[in-house]
Structure 1
Amino acid sequence: MSQKHKAEQFRDLHHAEAPLVLYNVWDAMGAGSLAEAGAPAVGTSSWAIAKAHGFEDGEEMPLAFAAQIVHCIATHVDVPVTADFEAGYASDLRQLRASAEQFLRTGIVGVNFEDQIVGGDGLYSLEDQVNRIQTVRHVADDLGIALFINARTDIFMQAKPTDDLEHLGEQAVARAKIYQRAGADGFFVPNLDNEAMIATLCQEVDMPLNIMSLDPNMDIAKMAALGVRRISFGPKPILDAMADFRQRQIV
């Protein structure tokens, strides 16, 4: 399947009758296993890839190494692959363009692109994140890749227990609408499990909503009824795999 065909297929999966479920992987063998089991697409987890190779998450793994692993995954399977691009391994737009080009040449057709300032405090301003999303979009266009940009907001990841959920939701909606105008295709809200707020975002945001769950037995039908179009499991698969690995230790 060509990269163009994969990109078209991946975009269509966000508008199918059932939500797209991505069980995040960290290597080519895992991707191949999922594809053989019938997964229509594969997603990576930056946390899992980093931990599996002795690094901490948060762009601690060198970009070239991360891109090499993603390339191995993307070329090992004949299904669409979306990769966790974190915050683009750059704050400067020129550096972001270079890192995006390196990442997109791996064969992927989608990225998670977050708005947190890696190594700093808080989130990028709306203006800055618009410029960053547009930069990634321009790189994809220049390479002829119909890239699915899953714009991630860390509003809920960085929230304090005392923060007002409704206010956080309003901020999320505002960011989603602006990110969409900048060129995003989907909206990713990790660390949000409040069903009422999830439903509100699905109603207010005119992009497929992606939630992340650490419960492999979550009620997917319920999430679909709320309007969720994509569900991913982040670090949960590798945590489960390593727990099983420890249990099998022969003393």
Structure 2
Amino acid sequence: MTVTPLWREKARRLRALHLEPSILVLVNAWDAASARVVAGAPGCRAVATASHSIAAAHGYDDGEHIPLDLMIAAIARIATAVDLPVTADLESGYGDVAATVRAAIRAGAVGGNLEDGMKPLEHAVRAVETAVATGHEVGTPFVLNARTDAYLSGPPKTALTEAVERGTAYLDAGADCVFVPGCTDPKDIRELVTAFGHGRLSLLGVPALPRPAELAALGVARVSYGPYPQRWALEAVTRHAEALLAGRPTDDPNGHSHP
């Protein structure tokens, strides 16, 4: 398997974006159309996929229920649709981390998320090591965002300690940054930044999370929005559909009223 100079340049660019003064904001896409919309928005510097949203678009529940070939095909369409670096949500690796990372790279992704599901730490570290090694095998580093679910499924009192232990281990294993969804408290965020270092912490944009500018001031490298962009889009479709089906007028995005 070979990668092009353009792929290498995109991987280099994605890694560098984590170290810039302004936080990397990733609005997650789930198909070519949403990817083009996101990439066309002023200030967009990279595109992330959302496994939950891709699965939903194909009629599957989240959690690796969608067949891997369908997930990879969606990633490929997104990567082909935009000129920006694409980082892919690879869930837990679909049972074969090396094969999944290779498939994602072949599809055009230059980085990816890999979640631990709170598996025993040694197993989770091995998965990170495998993903990193697979990236190197193809000739350039794969920008790995190693996710820990310490704040989602662990005891709240030990979430910070667990996240620090796991995140530090993933960075030592070669991950580029650590994704800690569920962490929203500024005090905890500061401690995670201190533990991981500059350009290493990634968070999920939920309503309770501080705004991106505040996160940047705290030292957070990136924030992504997971399934929320698709939900926002579907809420808009629902609103317009209900109005049209009830015989009420509804405004389209260009301000024209439809009877």
Same fold (TM over 0.5): yes
**Alignment match of 1:85 (pick from 84, 90, 100):** 90
Other-structure match for 2:132 = 137
**Distance in 1 of aligned mates of 2:204 and 2:165:** 20
**Distance in 2 of aligned mates of 1:219 and 1:193:** 10
Q: Mean Cα displacement is larger for which, 217-226 or 236-245?
A: 217-226
Deviation for aligned residue 1:100: 2.3
Is residue 195 from structure 1 mapped to residue 186 from structure 2 by the alignment? Answer: yes
Other-structure match for 2:112 = 111
**Distance in 2 of aligned mates of 1:107 and 1:239:** 25
Deviation for aligned residue 1:216: 10
Task: Say whether the 8 Å CA contact 2:15–2:143 is kept in structure 1.
Answer: yes
What is the RMSD of the two structures over their aligned residues, measured on CA atoms?
1.6
Deviation for aligned residue 1:191: 1.0
Q: Which runs of 5+ in 2 are unaligned?
A: 246-259
Other-structure match for 2:256 = none
Q: Where does 1:91-170 land on structure 2 (aligned, <5 Å)?
A: 95-116=96-117, 123-160=118-155, 163-164=156-157, 167-170=158-161
Task: After superposition, give the CA deviation of every residue in 1:17-53 in whole Å (9 maximum; x if it has no partner).
Answer: 1100001110111111122223110001111111111
Q: How many pairs does the alignment contain?
A: 237
Other-structure match for 2:228 = 236
Task: After superposition, give the CA deviation of every residue in 1:203-222 in whole Å (9 maximum; x if it has no partner).
Answer: 11125211111339952111
Task: Say whether the 8 Å CA contact 1:214–1:234 is kept in structure 2.
Answer: no
**Distance in 2 of aligned mates of 1:184 and 1:80:** 18
Task: After superposition, give the CA deviation of every residue in 1:89-142 in whole Å (9 maximum; x if it has no partner).
Answer: 01xxxx3322222222111111010001xxxxxx22121112111111111111
Give the aligned residue type for 2:75: V
Q: Which runs of 5+ in 1 are unaligned?
A: 117-122
Is residue 6 from structure 1 mapped to residue 10 from structure 2 by the alignment? Answer: yes
**Distance in 1 of aligned mates of 2:178 and 2:94:** 20
Task: Say whether the 8 Å CA contact 1:216–1:233 is kept in structure 2.
Answer: no
Task: After superposition, give the CA deviation of every residue in 1:154-175 in whole Å (9 maximum; x if it has no partner).
Answer: 0111135xx31xx321121111
**Distance in 2 of aligned mates of 1:247 and 1:197:** 37
Is residue 33 from structure 1 mapped to residue 37 from structure 2 by the alignment? Answer: yes
Other-structure match for 1:120 = none
Deviation for aligned residue 1:80: 0.2
Identical aligned residues as a percent:
36
Is residue 204 from structure 1 mapped to residue 204 from structure 2 by the alignment? Answer: no
* Gap change, CA 1:3 and 1:24, over 3 Å in 2: same
**Distance in 2 of aligned mates of 1:23 and 1:41:** 9
Give the aligned residue type for 2:68: L
**Distance in 1 of aligned mates of 2:108 and 2:101:** 12
Is residue 73 from structure 1 mapped to residue 78 from structure 2 by the alignment? Answer: yes
**Distance in 2 of aligned mates of 1:111 and 1:79:** 14
Task: Say whether the 8 Å CA contact 2:147–2:178 is kept in structure 1.
Answer: yes
State the SS of the aligned residue for 2:25. strand
Other-structure match for 1:22 = 26
Task: Say whether the 8 Å CA contact 1:211–1:230 is kept in structure 2.
Answer: yes
Is residue 64 from structure 1 mapped to residue 41 from structure 2 by the alignment? Answer: no
Larger radius of gyration: 2
